[in-house]
Structure 1
Amino acid sequence: MIGYSPGRLFGIRPNAMSAPVHPDCQHPRLPAEWEAQAALMLTWPHASGDWGEHLAAAEACFERLAAAAARYQPVLIVCPDSRTSARVRNRLRSAGVSPQRMIFTEAPSNDVWARDHGPITVRRAGGRAQLLDFRFNGWGERYPADEDDRLTRRLTEEGVIGGESYRRIEWILEGGSIDSDGAGTLLTTTRCLLNPNRNTDTGREEVEAQLRARLGIRRVLWLESGWLCGDDTDGHVDMLARFVDRRTIAHAVCEDPDDPHYAPLRALREELQAARTRNGDPYRLVELPLPAPIHDEDGNRLPATYANFVFVNGAVLVPVYDDPADAIACARLAQACPGRDIVRVPAQDLIRQGGSVHCATMQLPAGVIIDGLATGAEATRRVHEA
């Protein structure tokens, strides 16, 4: 199937917020990712991370990702040290990236996944942007995350982003675990948000209360099905299903009955077919096929998916894997996102560590103050140890 499919009711009722909050200027609003952005944030790979002998390939992938995004908007690049900043700056300039589209800063980090350690931005009264710094514990304490958990605070304390709009939230939430339609509806998975390895208050009502208070969410579409081999995030929704607009959801599908993903992704599709918009209409669904299986050196299957695409101003950056399904996924996203360029970003080397282009980025919506953008000049800042 190419393009949209109308949802139909399978008797699966999506769970809504138990106490809807009426929208007004006093409540936060979590923007949709297709809304205007000030910049896209990247945290650069480094030798202290898990890339090992694949570090050079990972950096090349990040260079392609940064160059693709910089065609449409500024890119904030967080490097581990000044030598890396200088080298990356020169390589991007050589690739034709305008210096006015690059903002460099330096800060320690554990890993590259800015989607989960970067700020989650909401809008407050008058449309004011507020940066929320949720706790990050390395996906349930699987991996070291102390530097990543401090990264957003360091960037704001040094004036790189945010300033007075910053707020620390002592509750664990990863950007890859949620997806917003910008109008109060959230897509997420029970496997991640209700997992006791994140927060102690893991009851559905308690989690919904946090989402309502912190993000202004009035309706949650809880997904109970769907997983990908090699995903160590407990089922981040950004690997499975994403809003394309307020009436459309793109999601991963598997049509091979012999593939272990076949049954769980079929169940996911049925959940999405049963879901309804705020007006009670079925969502239009865009099916994104999985690429052929990709494995690491030890034979473990990796979670390659096209659902991990990224919105930037005027375009969609789509991870591709040198697979025939690349063209199918890009064509379907082009149909679903009229007026936007579809830009392919090779992600074979990125998926080695279990993530793709959405995992490696965090949007900073329009209105977020970013040092260096006011004058359009290239900025370099050093964020010192706290």
Structure 2
Amino acid sequence: MANRLFPEWHQQDAVQLTWPGADSDWAPMLSRIEATLERMVTAIARYQQVLISVADTATRERLAATFTQLGVPAQRLRLYVVPSDDSWARDHGPIGIERDGRLTLLDYRFTGWGGKFPAARDDALNRALADQGVFAAPLESQALVLEGGAIESDGEGTLLTTEACLLNQNRNPALDRAAIEARLGEDFGVTRVLWLAHGHLEGDDTDSHVDTLARFCDPQTIAYVRCDDPEDAHYAALSAMEDELKALRQADGSPYRLIPLPWPRPCFDPEDGHRLPATYANFLIINGAVLVPVYGDAADSTALAALATAFPERDLVPIDCHEVIRQHGSLHCLTMQLPKGSLAAAHLAGAASHDACNDADNDATADVQE
């Protein structure tokens, strides 16, 4: 069977989010992170559907009312009650591949980034959604531990990742580099794995996920974090990563077009003062737009200008992610794109859904489910 890992710019049905619950680590700042997520949902819904798993029926009903007030079309919103541990959908959401011309969703094991945090409910979340009839594409459970933020695909057989994550003994200790590459080739149809040996962000719990450091913008272009402050603790590692990226070659032997992203001023936790992982590389590509994390920093405009050169035909939508980095991730980490063909036609659940469905456009229908 011929497999292909979709790039993020492949046409999407929706973006998947996992709404934080009152029993999560977000509890002390729940209203503030909800405000950020509301801005994200409102922005995404201008372009495509948003699928949100929530902790309970009361939250589902509250969010349905909130987004109605915010002007989000009912046909662009899907709400499902599914328990979760945290909100990092990038790492517990399904990964879409093409297999012999048909979409399949792969459900890898999620262990809280190598057992750092509780993750049993997050690990079961995709199966719970599938059991509710959410997905049109088959969902296949995988024994491999793998997070979506750990891999970048160009859609043409090349995968970009980091040694610090995929070769970490806290994920798949029985597999060495050759075995990991073989598995990635089998699952994703990749013929080349590009490994970064350097690069990290203080405050990052993921063991250097590549989506915080370097990202494919198209098959020829990589945007990456560059530190220009020799006094910063990140300078040596990120300079070494930059040298690695300059040495990488495309399949035809040509160098990549590299787009450096600026280094914001250090952000620190207001309670204990530890450094937070602010990065402009954690952007999200959706249908017709790119959502870009910003931090109220002078470098925000520089980052937006740099990414505009990478995505000249897409809208750039800045999202303030000050609150997101308090829990050691950023915008991309909160999301998982679902490729076109992922979602089943919406189920009708009462008069409100039926009325919304009457107004739906051809590519999206209302869905309010438990």
**TM-score class normalised by the smaller sequence:** over 0.9
| Mapped pair 1:347 → 2:321 | yes
For the residues of structure 1 that align with 2:344 and 2:248, how far apart are their CA atoms? Answer: 38
| Mapped pair 1:152 → 2:114 | no
Measured against aligned partners, the alpha-carbon deviations of 1:147-199 in whole angstroms (never above 9, x if no partner) come to 00000111112211245x11100110000000000011001000000001001
For the residues of structure 2 that align with 1:111 and 1:346, how far apart are their CA atoms? Answer: 20
* Mapping of residues 53-132 of structure 1, within 5 Å: 53-126=28-101, 128-132=102-106
Measured against aligned partners, the alpha-carbon deviations of 1:270-328 in whole angstroms (never above 9, x if no partner) come to 00000000010000100111211111120100001000000010000000101111100
Measured against aligned partners, the alpha-carbon deviations of 1:354-376 in whole angstroms (never above 9, x if no partner) come to 11110000000011133429783
Measured against aligned partners, the alpha-carbon deviations of 1:92-140 in whole angstroms (never above 9, x if no partner) come to 12111111110111100000000000001101112x1101000010000
- Aligned CA-pair RMSD: 1.2
For the residues of structure 1 that align with 2:208 and 2:344, how far apart are their CA atoms? Answer: 32
Pick from 178, 187, 195 the counterpart of residue 222 of structure 1: 195
| Mapped pair 1:364 → 2:352 | no
For the residues of structure 2 that align with 1:83 and 1:378, how far apart are their CA atoms? Answer: 18
| Mapped pair 1:301 → 2:289 | no
For the residues of structure 2 that align with 1:110 and 1:184, how far apart are their CA atoms? Answer: 33
| Mapped pair 1:262 → 2:235 | yes
**If the length of structure 2 is used for normalisation, what is the TM-score?**
0.94
Measured against aligned partners, the alpha-carbon deviations of 1:207-243 in whole angstroms (never above 9, x if no partner) come to 0011011111110000000000000110100000000
How far the C-alpha of 1:201 sits from its partner, in A, is 2.6
How far the C-alpha of 1:52 sits from its partner, in A, is 2.6
Pick from 164, 171, 193 the counterpart of residue 198 of structure 1: 171
- SS of aligned partner of 2:369: strand
> What is the aligned-residue identity percentage?
51
Contact 1:42 1:75 in 2 (8 A): yes
For the residues of structure 2 that align with 1:257 and 1:193, how far apart are their CA atoms? Answer: 28
- From the superposition, tell whether residues 295 and 371 of structure 1 become closer, same or farther in structure 2 (CA, over 3 Å): farther
For the residues of structure 2 that align with 1:320 and 1:96, how far apart are their CA atoms? Answer: 24
1:8 maps to what in 2? none
How far the C-alpha of 1:202 sits from its partner, in A, is 3.1
For the residues of structure 2 that align with 1:375 and 1:105, how far apart are their CA atoms? Answer: 19
2:260 maps to what in 1? 287
1:359 partner amino acid: C
1:36 maps to what in 2? 11
Contact 1:104 1:378 in 2 (8 A): no
- SS of aligned partner of 1:238: helix
For the residues of structure 2 that align with 1:69 and 1:356, how far apart are their CA atoms? Answer: 16
| Mapped pair 1:253 → 2:241 | no
2:44 partner amino acid: A
Contact 2:345 2:365 in 1 (8 A): no
Contact 1:160 1:381 in 2 (8 A): no
For the residues of structure 2 that align with 1:258 and 1:95, how far apart are their CA atoms? Answer: 44
Measured against aligned partners, the alpha-carbon deviations of 1:46-101 in whole angstroms (never above 9, x if no partner) come to 11110132111011111111111111100001111111111112111211111111
Aligned positions, number: 355
- SS of aligned partner of 2:237: helix
For the residues of structure 1 that align with 2:71 and 2:343, how far apart are their CA atoms? Answer: 26
- SS of aligned partner of 2:332: coil
Pick from 280, 296, 303 the counterpart of residue 322 of structure 1: 296
- From the superposition, tell whether residues 375 and 189 of structure 1 become closer, same or farther in structure 2 (CA, over 3 Å): closer
| Mapped pair 1:137 → 2:111 | yes
For the residues of structure 2 that align with 1:114 and 1:371, how far apart are their CA atoms? Answer: 22
Contact 1:247 1:277 in 2 (8 A): yes
- SS of aligned partner of 1:29: strand
Contact 2:45 2:77 in 1 (8 A): yes
1:225 partner amino acid: H
- SS of aligned partner of 2:267: coil
Contact 1:247 1:283 in 2 (8 A): yes
Measured against aligned partners, the alpha-carbon deviations of 1:220-268 in whole angstroms (never above 9, x if no partner) come to 0000000000001101000000000000000001101100111111111
**If the length of structure 1 is used for normalisation, what is the TM-score?**
0.90
For the residues of structure 2 that align with 1:371 and 1:173, how far apart are their CA atoms? Answer: 29
Gaps of 5+ in 2: 348-361
Contact 1:191 1:224 in 2 (8 A): yes
- SS of aligned partner of 2:104: strand
For the residues of structure 1 that align with 2:39 and 2:114, how far apart are their CA atoms? Answer: 30
- SS of aligned partner of 1:72: coil
How far the C-alpha of 1:349 sits from its partner, in A, is 0.5
For the residues of structure 2 that align with 1:243 and 1:200, how far apart are their CA atoms? Answer: 28
